Chains A and B, each alone.
Chain A
């Protein structure tokens, strides 16, 4: 793939690009299917963008020379991303994946100008004829993590570092808290908002502050392992990897992880486009479909706790467990979901409230 671990790959990429153009002109044919990725962070963030990078590499393995990928990193969510999207479309990319919520408006805008290019927007909600959305049910993973935390926390105080209070993040907080409180109803979750997806310094500060206030487990919904490193440094019970297995950064504190596996979805999209059967849709699979993978459990976790977590996971997969089963009371005391009922997808997207036990 033409992405850079730089040096050698760069020159090959440039040469390959030239060859592609040349072959297109010479043969008058389409050449490889060009695919673009627009990412909000660097592929080495060890979290969100890294997950897409891994998936992009899986695409290369699957399709080989039939495709050519351009992976653009660290694009800010603003008019600059509009230019990058347009640039990719102008360069002949036929499928463009925009992997962050904030790209949404610009994807719709640019998609209008390039009706024969297919755009897929991750974690978004806006669709059009040539724009589809896709996401993964991370909150299912949060429920498993919450089960672990519920068993393991001793201070019953859990710190949660959030980026922006968008529905996806809120869902995660709520699913985690519900699962944890099922094990131990006294657990409280303290949320801090960073207002950024990727700011290791701020994240580390927030983690320290939460730990100093008594949290012995730290959870984060940001793109990076900074919070885990602080957890390791302070020697608290632990934290979770977000988007990828982050145990390399915190071998003692890394309890488990939610691993994003995008490859199945991407492969499906490519196949659909090649076959001409792609339609704009909202794809939202979870653990059952293999898009959300639970990372390996830390050795220090007792076997019965692991079993409990695995039971929750199995329940989600076979449908017997729904992370949002009533009765659910919000943190102001109002009952939001009566006993026995669950929240449907639309309700999840409209979630702007927090369950009991969350201080946000």
Chain B
């Protein structure tokens, strides 16, 4: 049941979406076909799926670890931006150098950048019980303003005709393509590795177990000797680092430079992906692909049946609505168990 509901949510979205869009005058069947099927059936689009889903998967995996621990990191978009900025900073500094050490350095910088941005919510939550939803969210906007400032100001490309953008990254600073002749870059396999690593971590390690217990029954966790605070730090730093990783991979991959349009809402879409994947790393791989299908399909639909890009957002929201609604069928069993544990722990 747990694993059927996401599929059910996507199907329900497709059906309801087709009906609703037909009612308001668009080619409903066509919309659903282009959005959900064409990206899967058209081999030319597979590379786009890989490129679009990689950052979603990486961020969502990080978020899911946090959500399992009841730590609600909503600021992944800001951590993603900081990852990209950190990588750009390293790239600009190493512009005149060359060598295979530059890209790994950028990746590490990106992860540290994302982590750094998660430190504030972590610190405030553990020391002062400040709600991490708000702190992480506020920092997202600060991150975007920081990006604007750097790209319009100190980091602007002097050869860029005044346009707000940094210089293009050098060949050493860009992600290699792993499938020749396509745009599939290193980010795609990294995403798979991250998901599998997270799966092992959550299901096989003590820390992973600790995270789950802290999330499900904090009193029981304390009783068992697990440090809730350490877990919160771990959850936020991990999701920050992974969001930062996604940021580096996007900056050094598809973008190739830093521009004001760098924030593309991956951080928020990844939240949907995390839920759609049932907070399980392998589920997230599929959910990330499903979301990528919707986005890529939306672009195809824009050019073939002239569906406005806005429609994609509606489909995404519908998927999440249906999933959340179907949760109730599953949740009751889980919830009951939790309550008993809590009452016993008290």
The CB with the most chain A CB atoms within 10 A, among B44, B164, B259, B306, is that of: B306
Q: Is A6 a contact of B26 with CB atoms below 8 Å?
A: yes
With contact pairs A13-B305, A195-B260 given, residues A6 and B162 touching in the complex (Cβ less than 8 Å): no
A351 to chain B minimum Cβ distance, whole angstroms, is 9
Contacts of B26 in A (CB 8 A): 6, 10
Does A76 sit within 8 A of B, measured CB to CB? Answer: yes
Q: Mark A12-27, 1 if CB is under 8 A from B, else 0.
A: 0110010000000000
A7 to chain B minimum Cβ distance, whole angstroms, is 4
Q: Is A78 a contact of B259 with CB atoms below 8 Å?
A: yes
Q: Mark A128-172, 1 if CB is under 8 A from B, else 0.
A: 000000000000000000000000000000000000111101100
Does A282 sit within 8 A of B, measured CB to CB? Answer: no
Does A88 sit within 8 A of B, measured CB to CB? Answer: yes
Q: Is B305 a contact of A10 with CB atoms below 8 Å?
A: yes
With contact pairs A10-B306, A91-B304 given, residues A77 and B162 touching in the complex (Cβ less than 8 Å): no
Q: Is B306 a contact of A13 with CB atoms below 8 Å?
A: yes
Q: Is B259 a contact of A77 with CB atoms below 8 Å?
A: yes
Contacts of A91 in B (CB 8 A): 303-304
Q: Is A87 a contact of B168 with CB atoms below 8 Å?
A: no
Does A90 sit within 8 A of B, measured CB to CB? Answer: yes
Q: Is B25 a contact of A10 with CB atoms below 8 Å?
A: yes
Does B309 sit within 8 A of A, measured CB to CB? Answer: yes
B165 to chain A minimum Cβ distance, whole angstroms, is 8
Q: Is B163 a contact of A164 with CB atoms below 8 Å?
A: yes
A123 to chain B minimum Cβ distance, whole angstroms, is 10
With contact pairs A10-B26, A14-B27, A166-B163 given, residues A79 and B254 touching in the complex (Cβ less than 8 Å): yes
Q: Is B152 a contact of A84 with CB atoms below 8 Å?
A: no
Q: Is A2 a contact of B309 with CB atoms below 8 Å?
A: no
Q: Is B162 a contact of A83 with CB atoms below 8 Å?
A: no
Q: Which of B226-271 contact A (CB under 8 A)?
A: 254-256, 259-262, 264
Number of chain B residues whose Cβ lies closer than 8 Å to a Cβ of chain A: 31
Contacts of A76 in B (CB 8 A): 261
Contacts of B162 in A (CB 8 A): 164-167, 169-170, 352
A224 to chain B minimum Cβ distance, whole angstroms, is 18
Does B59 sit within 8 A of A, measured CB to CB? Answer: no
Does A311 sit within 8 A of B, measured CB to CB? Answer: no
Q: Mark B295-308, 1 if CB is under 8 A from A, else 0.
A: 01001101111101
B312 to chain A minimum Cβ distance, whole angstroms, is 12
Q: Is A166 a contact of B161 with CB atoms below 8 Å?
A: yes
Does B148 sit within 8 A of A, measured CB to CB? Answer: yes
Does A70 sit within 8 A of B, measured CB to CB? Answer: yes
Q: How far is the CA of A11 from the CA of B305 in the complex (A)?
A: 8
> Could you say which of A3, A74, A167 contacts B161, with CB atoms under 8 Å apart?
A167
Q: How far is the CA of A6 from the CA of B262 in the complex (A)?
A: 31
Q: How far is the CA of A52 from the CA of B22 in the complex (A)?
A: 29
Does B30 sit within 8 A of A, measured CB to CB? Answer: yes
Query: Which residue in chain B gives the minimum CB-CB distance to A71?
Result: B306
10 closest A-B pairs by beta carbon, nearest first, are A165-B162, A79-B254, A7-B25, A78-B261, A4-B306, A166-B162, A14-B305, A166-B161, A76-B261, A14-B27
Given contacts A10-B26, A166-B163, 19 further A-B contacts (CB under 8 A): A3-B306, A6-B26, A6-B306, A9-B306, A13-B305, A14-B305, A72-B302, A72-B303, A74-B309, A77-B259, A77-B261, A78-B264, A88-B303, A91-B303, A91-B304, A102-B163, A169-B162, A170-B162, A195-B260
Complex A-B: 7 CB contacts under 8 Å: A2-B306, A36-B303, A73-B308, A77-B259, A87-B299, A87-B300, A349-B161
